[in-house]
Amino acid sequence: WSDANLAWNESEYNNIPSIVVMASDVWIPDVSVKNGFFDGLTENSLQEVIISSKGEMSLDLLKETTTFCKLDLTYFPFDVQTCYIGFDIWAYTKEQVVSILGSLWLLWFWPEGEPNIVDAQQNDAFYNDGTRDMTYSEVNFVIHLKRNPLFHVTYFIYPCLISSVATTFVFLVPSDTNQKIEFSTTILISFSVFLNTMYFSLPKSGDYIPFLAFYVVFVIFISSLSVFFTVFVLILHY
């Protein structure tokens, strides 16, 4: 943005083309996050504004915010999520303040657990208020997130598949042993533990249910039938 009151003639000030001042000493635009439910700005005393001799002002805004993203967990843990973050300057029209895109560096994003950022795009646009017939400037970011499936495959999917196969072996256990019913009930309990673990590891969203959850519920049903028929076989045997 520009401020004519802060312009100067370079020849009168030792040919100084620009200066750096603290953001708390000048006016800065109010940037808000459109889809955020917590929006905090770092202390202005920690930020700097570059002012050119023509009165043009530049600020690399430091902003801490929390946004929400609608997740599609259908293919968990092999899902790829797309999140949208929008920034706008709602108090000033495009004639007063315009947002200009800079370079988007994914090298600044350090993976911390999951999911990881695999790609990101940015675009600037203008939108009309509609009620007051005013046009505002906004910047939108599209972030693609991918989960690392190795952990879930190793500690959840593989044990679940092994337990599923083990369910079929319950009828191979001799009926005259006491471990037949214990074996089938232990497998049933293990599937309940798997489903409970998935429940606490996923976001609480009822819009999309993972196929993996349907599979675990189906296997629990089959395992329950296995327990029922095991009891029936034991009743016939004794």
Q: Are 46 and 182 in contact (CB under 8 A)?
A: no
Which band of pLDDT confidence, cut at 50, 70 and 90, is reported for residue 8? very high
How confident is the model over 100-154, as pLDDT tens digits? 666 666 656 666 667 788 888 888 777 776 666 777 778 888 888 888 888 888 8
Q: Are 190 and 151 in contact (CB under 8 A)?
A: no
Pick the last residue of a domain from 21, 42, 67. 67
| 23 vs 119: CA distance, rounded Å | 32
Q: Tell whether 84 and 140 lie within a shared domain.
A: yes
Q: What is the amino acid identity at position 192?
A: S
- Cis preceding linkage at 77, omega within 30: yes
Count of domains forming the chain: 3
Residue 95 has pLDDT above 80, yes or no: no
Q: Tell whether 37 and 75 lie within a shared domain.
A: no
Residue 16's pLDDT is 92
Pick the last residue of a domain from 117, 147, 177. 147
With 0-12 / 13-18 / 19 or more C-beta atoms within 10 angstroms meaning exposed / middle / buried, residue 2 is middle
| 221 vs 202: CA distance, rounded Å | 22
Which band of pLDDT confidence, cut at 50, 70 and 90, is reported for residue 40? low
Structural tokens at position 119: 């790609």
Q: Tell whether 122 and 198 lie within a shared domain.
A: no
Q: Tell whether 133 and 154 lie within a shared domain.
A: no
Residue 45 has pLDDT above 60, yes or no: no
Q: Residue 73: which CATH number?
A: 2.70.170.10
Check residues 101 and 69 and name the one with the higher pLDDT: 69
Q: Are 145 and 117 in contact (CB under 8 A)?
A: yes
Residue 186's pLDDT is 86
Residue 96 has pLDDT above 80, yes or no: no
How confident is the model over 173-231, as pLDDT tens digits? 776 666 777 888 888 888 888 888 888 877 776 678 889 888 888 888 888 888 888 78
Residue 39 has pLDDT above 70, yes or no: no
Residue 205's pLDDT is 65
Residue 172's pLDDT is 77
Q: Tell whether 10 and 79 lie within a shared domain.
A: no
Q: Tell whether 137 and 154 lie within a shared domain.
A: no
Q: Tell whether 31 and 21 lie within a shared domain.
A: yes
Domain range for 47: 1-67
Q: Tell whether 187 and 197 lie within a shared domain.
A: yes
Q: Tell whether 37 and 62 lie within a shared domain.
A: yes
Q: Which of 39-48, 54-63, 88-97 has the lowest mean pLDDT?
A: 39-48
Residue 82 has pLDDT above 80, yes or no: yes
Pick the last residue of a domain from 147, 180, 201. 147
| 218 vs 201: CA distance, rounded Å | 20
* Contact residues for 227 (Cβ-Cβ < 8 A; gap 6+): 181, 184, 185, 188
Q: Tell whether 169 and 224 lie within a shared domain.
A: yes
Q: Tell whether 122 and 136 lie within a shared domain.
A: yes
